[in-house]
Structure 1
Amino acid sequence: MYTKLSIPERLKDLRVVDKHLTLEQLAEQTGLSKSALGKYEGDDYKDISPFAIATLAEFYGVSTDYLMGLSENKTIPNSDLQSLHLSDEMIELLRSGRINNRLLCELATHEGFPRLMTDITVIVDRIAGMRVSQMNLELEAARQSVMESYAPGDDDLYMRTLEVAQIDGEDYFNHIVHKDIDKIVKDIQTAHTNDATTADERQETVAEVRQKFEKLVQTGTSGEEAFIQVFCDQMEIPYEKLTSAEFTAFLGILRKSKKAKRTKSMRGKGSPIPPNRNGRQKR
Structure 2
Amino acid sequence: MGEYLPGNLQERLRELREANGFNSRNKLADEIGIDRTTYGRIENGSTKTISSDILIKLSKLYGVPTDYILGISNTPEDTRYDIAELGLSVEAAKNLYSKKVDPRVVNELLINDRFAVAAKLMADFFSGAVTQMLTAHNALLNFSMDTLNELVVSGKIPNDKDVAETRKKLKASRIQTNKFEIDKIQMYLMKAVKEIQVKVSKEIAENNKIDETLCYEILNAVKEASKEIPNMKDLPMEEKKKILKQVIMDGIQLNPDMPDMDEEKRKTIVDDVFDLLAGT
TM over 0.5: no
The structure with more helix, counted as a fraction of residues? 2
Q: TM-score, normalised by structure 2?
A: 0.40
Query: If you compute each CA radius of gyration, which structure gives the higher value, 1 or 2?
Result: 2
